[in-house]
Amino acid sequence: MFKRVEKQILDFVDTLDGIKSREVVHGTLYVILEDDRDCDSIHRKIRNHYKENINNEGGCNMYSVGGEFAYDFVPEDREAPVFCDEDYSGKEEMDPTEMDDGTPDFGLDATDLTEQEEAELDVLMNLQAESQRGK
């Protein structure tokens, strides 16, 4: 991520309440919150700022990594569907009885992943393992 964009993001995060520390590493924003329950509202604020002021065709994914939260800035089509825009129509088609068989189903088979998705997944799994070891 460009240094200018990183600075814009960090300057915005500095205006938010409830943040103990923040750092950008390889384009990912890592944040330690005073209260972990604020992660969703912080995610929404960061995403809205990013879309409105930096890249209107982008998005923001959030991951919990040990005691901190990682915010990845991604193209809009790679953003996790946690924000329901006005034009989102997928909810009407869902049948809750089809989802609750006790096993998580993310709609992906290992063979469905691209090389880049596999690499990103590998990085995330390594980050999580390192944070559990206290790195």
Whether the predicted pLDDT of 43 surpasses 90: yes
Question: Strand, coil or helix: what is 127?
Answer: helix
DSSP string spanning 57-82? TEEEEEEEETTEEEEEEEEGGGS-TT
Structure tokens, 82: 């946690």
66-121 pLDDT, tens digit each: 889 999 999 988 888 876 555 444 444 555 445 444 544 455 555 566 777 777 77
Domain of residue 26, residue span: 3-132
Number of domains, the chain: 1
3-37 pLDDT, tens digit each: 888 999 999 999 999 999 999 998 899 999 999 99
Whether the predicted pLDDT of 45 surpasses 80: yes
pLDDT, residue 120, reads: 78
Cβ proximity of 13 and 31 under 8 Å: yes
Count CA within 13 A, CB hemisphere, residue 126. Answer: 6
